[in-house]
Structure formats: structure tokens, C-alpha cells
Amino acid sequence: MSVSRVPGRNARPGRPSRRVSYPAFAHTGPREPLEGTEPIYLYLRLSRYHRDGADAIERHRVDLLRKLAAEGRWTVMGEYIDNDSASKSAVRSRKGWRRLNDDIRAGVVRAVAFWKLDRTSRIATKCLEWIGECQSRGVYLISHQDSADELNSASAGAKLVTGVKALLAEVETDTMSERQLAAKQHLAEAGFFHGGTVPLGWMRGPRVTDRFGRTGVRLVPHPVEFPALKDATSMVLAGKSIDQVARHWRDHYGITTSSGALLYEPTIYRALISPRMVGYRMRKVPEHRRGVKLELLDYVVRDRHGNPIIAHEPVCDLATWFKVRQALNRAKTSGTRRPWGSHPWLLTGLCFCLCGGRLYCHHKTHINAAGDKRRDYTYWCLANRRMGPGTCPTGCSIGAAKAEAYVLGWFFAQLTDPALGRAVARRRAADGNREIEAVLARLDEAKTERSMLIGKQGTPTYRGSMVTVLLGLVKDVQRRIDELQQRLDALTTAEPPINDGARVIAAWPSLEISEKRNYLRRVIDRIEVRSGRDSVEDRMLILPAQ
């Protein structure tokens, strides 16, 4: 197997994008409607991307413009666009639809044209609720396929016809969903790949047919990424960091991002903790939620006997993969690890953009004319990058040093408030040390039990259907380890013993970053930041905790 050694040669592509990307809103008309006409806005939505290259949004726009021009009483001022799918995630990310409804409530939009009623929503109750809201606000609705009298009339007959159409659209969606889910279930049981982003380390193989006559595509090892994962496994077990893995991949395999930069550490981490490493087929893994820890083995596809489906060639065996996960977890929870970017990021989780999005930590290295490197640290809004252009109209960012200095000045000014003393808890009593010793003893026993179970993997006792029993035992002991570790963290995390402002200020330089953040969160609910070139004081609004 030949491996390219040229950096950038094996750059990972970005997520698949559609042929055309549309903003949530585009102003396409004049500043004022033409004389003798009324302003109207288009809502265009493509619920499925057509592989034949035809774009329904363009066709719907032409149909609506022709219809409105024939009526002669409208001036199209702009258009709201969603280019998504009919999935549940697409419903949550319909930025054009949200922008349209915000403008309707603000009184900006007084008339809306769309191609068909099911373009607005395929849930009957929400569709009727939206029509009722438009009627109450005096918004006129025009559809290329539906009667305007039915959409804008408050009569019982019109409501009945509209309700039936909305219900039929919802039934059609449910029917398609059931059929697609059943098909995907069969593909999963056969170990076939049925769409989505190809996981790091594998690629699509040829179309094959299983013994039941089901046809599909399996994943096969990628000629470059698969051996890179093997190297990463050995490096993690040897104590190397994920950053060192990313640099090794760039230097030896040329694996980078699409822009040529080092592969993101979370990308490598997710690949290494995925059960795909041992050949398992994943299905219906919930979306990530902050603070919610998932056991990925719960979402492994199993056959009718309860055994995990081996869908592709594994990178390592089960015992090695458990060791890799354990090593990554130790590094992730390390108390001596330096913060990302070597900057303390004091305001993590507190700063928000006016669009509602959180400001994330960002650092960038600049090289001046003399060749010296300078690293800038900022908090910036990633809404446009994460949710698509147009989500955040301002694209807010603010320098970390100035923002943190301003917030600290505000915080120190509040330390005279007696409420601070009530907010700071006393350190645990000395008898808590005995409880810590008991938890440590139970934790060591559980870790020893887990090591013994992992060592039994592959032995004659645990083969075939008994693999499921072994996985259940490992899962149970891992759950106990996690609970004990959380208990230990709660006992060993000392509450700040200082309860007056002067002592807080004096001790501040010696506090750990976690203690500093803890103090700030006690007195600050959130910090709203607006874009612009004004001073930090004018751009930041600190909302105290209630």
C-alpha cells in the first residue's frame, strides 16, 4: 500500500455542499414599491436536493414572478430562501423561514408568495397555526398551486380545505419517512453504508450483494487514512497528544484540512473514540448536547442474536480500543493540561453575540515583516460559519485581552457587595477526606475489574453470543467508574474559601483558571457583545446574575 508523503496531498474535503448556497434573505427589488403596486416577498424552499442538477428554487422563482406579473398589483421586494432537506435537523436550521416570521411579527412583511402550501410546513397543526397568525396580522398569502381565497379566508369551508391539504402533506412525509427508515434499517443490518459523511479512515467500496439478496455499498479502508489511524492508536497508547498525532499525519501522510492546515483535534478525537475503530456499524446516534455524555456502544447495530454487526475492516481489536479511550479520557480530564491555545480564556461560556449565538475562543498567528510570530486571541461569533451565511448579520468579534480586562475591572468593583459572601461556599470539613479515601478505593477496584474484563476479550469463554454479555459487563463497570469519578471530582473540588472582596482581589493572581471562572459565573449571568469599532466599554453589556 503506497502512501503519499507530500503535505496537503491528502487534504480532507469539507462537508458536502450543494451546488448553490443561498442567503437567508436577499433584497432583490427597489427601495420603494412601484407606483400603483404593493410590496410582496417570496418564500422559496427546496426540500430535497435533486441529483439531476435541476434547481427547484429557480423554477419556483420563475413561476411566482410570472404569476405576480400577470396580476399586475405587486412589486417583489426580496426573497427568503431555505435550501435544505425534509429531515428533522433541517427543520431546526431553516434560517430563511425564521427570518421571514421575525419580519412578519415586526410588520416589515405584509404579503408573502410561495409555490405551494407544503413549502412552508409539512406539519398540519403548525401550517394552520401559521396561516392563522398571518390572517391576524393582516399578511396576504399567495400560492402558485393553492387558491388565494382558501389561504386568506376565515370561513369554515376555507379552513377545512386548507386543513385537508396540510394533513395530506404531513401524511405523505410520514409515509416516506417510514419507508426510508425501513430501508436504512435493512442496510444497517447488512453492514451497508447509506449516505452521510464518510468516516475518517474508510471510503466507499464497490456495490455488493449479501446472502439475502440485499445490494449496497460497504466501507473499505482508505489507502492513506486507515494506516494513519493505526499510527494514531499506537501514538495515543504511547502517551502522545492529539496535536502530535495531527502533526504526524500532516508530515507523514499529508492529511490536512481542505485549506491545508492541521486537522482539527476534535475530528481526530471523535474518530479514535468511535466504535467504527473495531469495525462496528453505527446507527441513530443522537446529536451532541453540551453536558450530555453518550456511550457510543449503545448505538451499535446488532443482528437478531444481539451480536454487533462487523461492517468493515477494524483498525484494532476491542481491548486495544478500550485502552485508547481510557488514555484519551485521562488526557481530557487532566488537571495539568494547558488550556487550548495557551491562553486562559477567562470568559468562556459567558459572552454572547446580539444574534443569540455564543462567542467562541479563537487564536490566529501573524508573521510580521521581520519574520516574528505574533498570536492574537479573540472571542468571536461562529453563527455564520456553523449555521450558514446570513445567520448573524454582524459577525461579532472582540479582542480577548481587552474584553477580559474590562470584565475583571467590573468584577472587582462588585466585590464590595455583601451578596458575594453569601455566594461563596465554605470549604468542606476535614471529615470529607475520609469519604474521598473510600471513593478512591472503590474507584481502584472498579478499574481493576474493567481491566480483567477487557483482558477476557477473545478468549474461548467469550465468543459468539457471549461477546454481548462481555460488552454488557464492561458497560456496567464503566458506568460505575464514571459515577465514582464524578463523585471524586465533586469531593476534591474545593470551594473558594474567601468570602470578602479584599481577600479575593489579593488572592486572584494565585487562583487557578477554573476558580476564576467559578467566581465570575457567580456574579455574571451573561455578557452581550455587539460588533463595531467602538471602545470595549461601549460594546460589552454585562448582565449580573439574579
Residue 163 pLDDT class (50, 70, 90 cuts): low
What's the rounded mean pLDDT across residues 257-270? Answer: 84
**pLDDT tens for each residue of 520-542:** 887 888 899 988 888 899 999 99
Largest CA distance in the chain: 86
CA–CA dist 38, 43 (Å, integer): 17
The residue among 406 and 5 whose pLDDT is bigger is: 406
> What letter represents residue 377's amino acid?
Y
Asked if pLDDT for residue 161 goes beyond 70, the answer is: no
CA–CA dist 63, 58 (Å, integer): 9
Nearest to 443 by CA among 391, 480, 470: 480
Asked if pLDDT for residue 85 goes beyond 90, the answer is: no
C-beta of residue 190 within 8 angstroms of C-beta of residue 198: no
Pick the most confident of 84-98, 198-212, 244-258: 244-258
Distances (CA, A) of 81 to 112, 139, 184, 265, 382: 12, 19, 30, 34, 21
CATH homologous superfamily for the domain 202-332: Putative Large Serine Recombinase; Chain B, Domain 2 (3.90.1750.20)
What's the rounded mean pLDDT across residues 451-457? Answer: 67
**Size of the chain in residues:** 546
**pLDDT tens for each residue of 177-231:** 667 666 666 666 767 777 677 888 888 888 888 777 778 888 889 999 999 999 9
Asked if pLDDT for residue 495 goes beyond 50, the answer is: no
CA–CA dist 255, 356 (Å, integer): 35
Asked if pLDDT for residue 176 goes beyond 70, the answer is: no
Strands of 100-201, DSSP E: 111-114, 140-143
DSSP 260: S
**pLDDT tens for each residue of 375-427:** 788 998 887 776 667 778 888 889 998 999 999 988 888 776 454 444 444 33
Burial 449-480 (b: 16+ CB within 10 A, else e): bbeebbeebeeeebeeeebeebbebbeebbeb
pLDDT at 310: 82
pLDDT at 126: 77
- The 3-state DSSP class for residue 77 equals strand
C-beta of residue 186 within 8 angstroms of C-beta of residue 210: no
> What is the percent of the chain where pLDDT is above 70?
71
What's the rounded mean pLDDT across residues 247-274? Answer: 87
Asked if pLDDT for residue 498 goes beyond 80, the answer is: no
Asked if pLDDT for residue 365 goes beyond 70, the answer is: yes
Domain range list for the chain: 25-176, 202-332, 340-427+497-544, 432-492
Cell of 215: 445490494
CA angle 78, 82, 88 (to 5 degrees): 150
**pLDDT tens for each residue of 103-126:** 999 899 999 999 887 777 767 677
pLDDT at 299: 81
Residue 49 pLDDT class (50, 70, 90 cuts): very low
CA–CA dist 393, 370 (Å, integer): 37
pLDDT at 499: 53
pLDDT at 78: 93
Spell out the residues 6+ positions from residue 140 whose beta carbon is closer than 8 angstroms to its own. Answer: 40, 110, 111, 112, 152
Residue 53 pLDDT class (50, 70, 90 cuts): very low
pLDDT at 233: 93
pLDDT at 205: 87
pLDDT at 42: 94
Distances (CA, A) of 305 to 87, 192, 237, 301, 468: 31, 19, 33, 11, 9
Residue 15 pLDDT class (50, 70, 90 cuts): very low
> What letter represents residue 447's amino acid?
K
Asked if pLDDT for residue 493 goes beyond 60, the answer is: no
pLDDT at 180: 67
Residue 88 pLDDT class (50, 70, 90 cuts): very low
Residue written as grid cell 481526530: 268
Nearest to 453 by CA among 353, 319, 280, 354: 319
What's the rounded mean pLDDT across residues 289-301? Answer: 76
- The 3-state DSSP class for residue 143 equals strand
> What letter represents residue 476's amino acid?
D
- Taking the domain 25-176, which CATH number applies? 3.40.50.1390
pLDDT at 358: 85
DSSP 298: G
pLDDT at 76: 93
Asked if pLDDT for residue 438 goes beyond 70, the answer is: yes
Alpha helices in 308-431 (DSSP H): 318-332, 383-387, 400-413, 419-423
pLDDT at 286: 76
Asked if pLDDT for residue 13 goes beyond 60, the answer is: no
